[in-house]
Structure 1
Amino acid sequence: MKKSLVLIFFLALFLNCKDDKGNSRILPNLPNKDQGDLILNHAEGFSIQDYSSHKILTIKKPWPEAKKNSKYLIASKNELAQMTFEKEAYDGIITDSITKIVVTSTTHIPALELLGMEHTLVGFPGTDYISSEKTRQRIDNGLVRELGKNEGLNTEVLLELQPDVVIGFGVDGINTSFETIKKAGIPVIYNGDWVESTPLAKAEWIKFFGALFNKETEADSIFKSIESNYLNAKKLANKAKSKPTILSGAMHKEVWYLPNGSSPEAQFLKDANLNYLWGDTSGNGSLALSFEVVLEKAQQADIWLSPSYYTSYQQLEEASKLYTNFDAFKNKSIFTFSTTTGAKGGVLYYELGTSRPDLVLKDLIKIGHPELLENYNPRFFKPLQ
């Protein structure tokens, strides 16, 4: 009987240690009390388990068709030195005292700045796309190196910088530059904020950066403020007495692309109490419709939002006289975010809009229900010129 109990004990211990790659395989010498998961109210693409000696970051959906999770161990250098773990069980080992970071999407810039960690940014692919005045100043001072393009990073320069971690993004996970970087011992984490299905879910990825920089409390406080502002704006929109009809998008090679009704863009319109004419559709990606179908349904739409990259009525008409058939064109009721740019032409919406959905929502409320926000100046959307 005694031998059986001993056998059961060691069998249980073995099974607990011999976990698959989807779970922690840490056997630390330090106390290992689980502090619980990071609370996420909207985001679904990542999770964080917080222990007394380390954190485990799981990226669940970095791109739409991702098939597996990725695991990262985050701990201080001292804690890592005292731990016994299987390195192969993780996709990257990261210290929580990051002094140098490379990010690859403009959507990552606001998170660094909101957390007061913009000084850690040392490299970025396509620095001209960055609109933030604070980070542009660092670029102009030579503190942020140009790294080429996300699809083909200048790995020579990046390896010379020796960042503690690289935050990437991709539509399919195929990036030879990232593979080269990982082989050099620099961890690469795919950020999937853009895959989330709601504006608040995207914004909650600031907690991802909070975990990397050991600033969870600050990240939680920042997000709660943004969330509160968003929900209060949504309540305000519900007081509107009218519900303007909305057309969106424009044609590319005779195909009109516009958001499907289950997209974050459509969620903005719904929360702004606007009648998006394709709000009852669903699916992944954009809707692709013929001009005739769009004209039939939206010729009399009250407002036209985001007409692709066009910045003026003249550009629209020169691209296609068909656009002049819409009442929104005739009545000069078209609004775009393409004219709100940084010093080098980067579109501010693509940078800040993800982190500040509360500002985007207020813009849309101002456009559709101006009487509700009389003294508000839109941050992104402006009348087409």
Structure 2
Amino acid sequence: MFNLSLKTLNNLTFESIKKLTLKKITFILIVLLVISCKNELGKQSKKPVKSTTLNLKYAKGFSIKDYGTYKVLEIKRPWPQSEKEYRFALLKDNSDVAFWDSKKNRFDNIIHLPIRKIVVTSTTHIPALELLNEAQTLIGFPGIDFISSKKVRQLIHKKKIRELGKNDGLNTEILLELNPDLVVGFGIDGNNRSLETIKKSGIPVVFNGDWVENSPLAKAEWIKFFGALFNKEKEADSIFNHIEKNYMDAKLLAQNVKTKPSILSGAMHSDIWYLPNGTSTEAQLLKDANVNYLWSDTKGSGSLKLNFESVLVKAKDADIWLNPSNYSSLESLKNANENHTIFKAFQNKNIYTFTNTTGATGGVLYYELGMTRPDMVLKDLIKICHPEVLKNYKPYFFKPLE
């Protein structure tokens, strides 16, 4: 039985070796394929994730990069002289929470999108929520009587929005009870103890620096900041483009006027006359309205503080007086300081203010909507200063002082 020929033995050995070799080759190929796949995956994981940057034409105080499953928000200048920039990871739905928790040290906080419950702290934030159809997400505000928006006031009436006290002293007990997804803060220096308490509780706080921007359109462009929070970048972009076009069209109309009325602004308070400096957004609006603002050549980061004599010398015969502080009538302006009556604009009753355009509970509408809608502000100024340009337009914010 075991008596095989040499030839047969040789044939068996050859076939066995042949089969063995094929198995080894197949195994080696599989191993190489697995290693190759692992190496390729390793290479892919090391490749930087491509991002798209939010297009901003005017605003300098923030930036947003979208990496697909998350965004990175940077707040560059939340208040004047701010020395720190803030970074936030904005996670879209179904993001790996555990993964991001391990990276918290790279960001000031992690925010989950879209925002469903929000607290804002300035009336200037309200119009963005309304324009983006997200007013219903607002659940708390400090000083709800200052809110003029009819839609938001309806929510307040239905007790959908809670009173939170004052911006510099928020009622943290109520706010923590509300447990919002985000608090959009406002501060002049970052020293707000109540906001620090909120941050320590785990609720993200982002400071909005729209008011620090140095042009009307730059301030209005912060609607894109809110657009990113609600995953509504396209809607925010479309809204801003509409505002920008209206603004630029109005500016173009004003450039064709033949005369430029001289403009006085501000009023006396405790022997000091406060008025906008030439690099302020107010002065920019007057420039774009093509008028002769008498202090357009001044520079500074805040309001000008002048004595009465210097203002009288320059503006006694000014054609128009705009924004006489918070005085609501000619009588109150006269009673505050008899010297106000010396100016030609007072004698001609050519004084205009936005103070008297208020909401149902007394909030000044300009302080809420004016920053988001500079196109409407510019049209108001053009109508007042060049009535022949916008014949059928009725000013929205400004009214003559009675």
TM-score (norm 2): 0.87
Residue aligning to 2:395: 378
Which residue among 146, 169, 178 is the counterpart of 2:186? 169
Q: Is the CA contact 1:299–1:327 (under 8 Å) kept in the aligned structure 2?
A: yes
| 2:84 paired residue number | 68
The answer on whether the counterparts of 1:29 and 1:82 sit within 8 Å (CA) in structure 2 is: no
How many pairs are equivalent?
358
**Partner Cα separation in structure 1 for residue 341 and residue 46 of structure 2:** 69
Partner of residue 7, structure 1? none
Please state if 1:34 is matched with 2:50: yes
| Cα separation, 2, equivalents of 1:376 and 1:339 | 19
Is the aligned partner of 1:346 residue 2:363?
yes
1:241 is displaced (CA, Å) by 1.1
Q: Secondary structure at the match of 2:88?
A: strand
What is the CA–CA distance in structure 2 between the aligned matches of 1:364 and 1:76, rounded to whole Å?
A: 42
What is the match of residue 96 of structure 2?
Answer: 80
Structure with greater Cα Rg: 2
Match of 2:69, as an amino acid? S
- In 2: Cα distance, 1:30 partner to 1:220 partner: 33
Measure how far apart 1:32 and its partner are.
6.6
In the alignment, is the contact (CA less than 8 A) between 1:106 and 1:129 conserved in 2?
yes
Q: Does residue 1:141 correspond to 2:161, yes or no?
A: no
In 2: Cα distance, 1:257 partner to 1:30 partner? 57
Provide the rounded CA distance (Å) in 2 between the counterparts of 1:141 and 1:383: 35
Contact 1:30-1:53 within 8 A present in 2 as well: no
The answer to whether the 8 Å contact 1:99/1:120 transfers is: yes
Q: Is the 8 A contact 1:29 1:83 kept in 2?
A: no
Letter in 1 for 2:153: R
- Counterpart of 2:60 (choices 44, 50, 65) is 44
Q: Which residue in the other structure is 1:301 paired with?
A: 318
Task: Return the match for 1:320 from 331, 337, 349.
Answer: 337
CA RMSD of aligned residues (A): 1.4
Mapped partners of 1:100, 1:252: distance in 2: 41
Q: Deviations over 1:163-188 (max 9, x none)?
A: 00000010000000000000110000
Partner of 1:271: 288
- For 2:129, the equivalent position in structure 1 comes to 112
SS at match of 1:371: coil
- Of residues 54, 66, 88 in structure 1, which corresponds to 2:70? 54
Q: Which runs of 4+ in 1 moved over 4 A?
A: 28-32
1:218 paired to 2:235: yes
How far 1:271 moved relative to its partner? Answer: 0.1
Q: Which is further off, 83-92 or 193-202? A: 83-92
Q: Work out which of the residue numbers 118, 129, 139 in structure 1 matches 2:146.
A: 129
Measure the CA separation in 1 of the matches of 2:358 and 2:383.
20
- CA-CA distance at 1:259 after TM superposition: 0.3
1:32–1:51 CA contact under 8 A, matched in 2:
no
Alpha-carbon distance in 1 for matches of 2:183, 2:265: 35
Q: Specify the code of the residue in structure 2 equivalent to 1:298.
A: A
- AA partner of residue 81 (structure 1): V
Percent sequence identity is 62
Unaligned runs of 5+ in 2: 1-43
- Out of 382, 391, 394, the position equivalent to 1:365 is 382
Q: What is the alpha-carbon distance in structure 2 between the residues aligned to residue 34 and residue 348 of structure 1?
A: 42
In structure 2, the residue matched to 1:247 is: 264
1:186 aligns with 2:203: yes
Q: How far off is 1:33 after superposition?
A: 2.9
Paired residue type of 1:193: D
Between the aligned partners of 2:45 and 2:340, the Cα distance in structure 1 is 68
Distance, in Å, in 2 between the alignment partners of 1:111 and 1:81 is: 29
Which SS does the other structure have where 2:110 is aligned?
strand
The residue type paired with residue 109 of structure 1 is: I
- Alignment correspondent of 1:355: 372
Gap change, CA 1:77 and 1:83, over 3 Å in 2: farther
* Partner of residue 5, structure 2: none
> Quick one: distance in 2 between partners of 1:83 and 1:300?
67
CA drift of 1:83 comes to 3.3
CA distance in 1 between counterparts of 2:83 and 2:115 reads: 29
Cα distance in 1 for partners of 2:309, 2:150 equals 43
The answer on whether the counterparts of 1:31 and 1:53 sit within 8 Å (CA) in structure 2 is: no
For residue 249 of structure 2, give the secondary structure of its aligned residue in structure 1. helix
1:208 is matched with 225
Whole-angstrom CA distance in 2 between matches of 1:236 and 1:254: 39
Unaligned stretches of 5+ in structure 1? 1-27
Question: Which residue of the partner structure matches residue 337 of structure 1?
Answer: 354
User: What TM-score do the two structures reach when normalised by structure 1?
Assistant: 0.91
Distance 1:29 1:305 in 2: 60
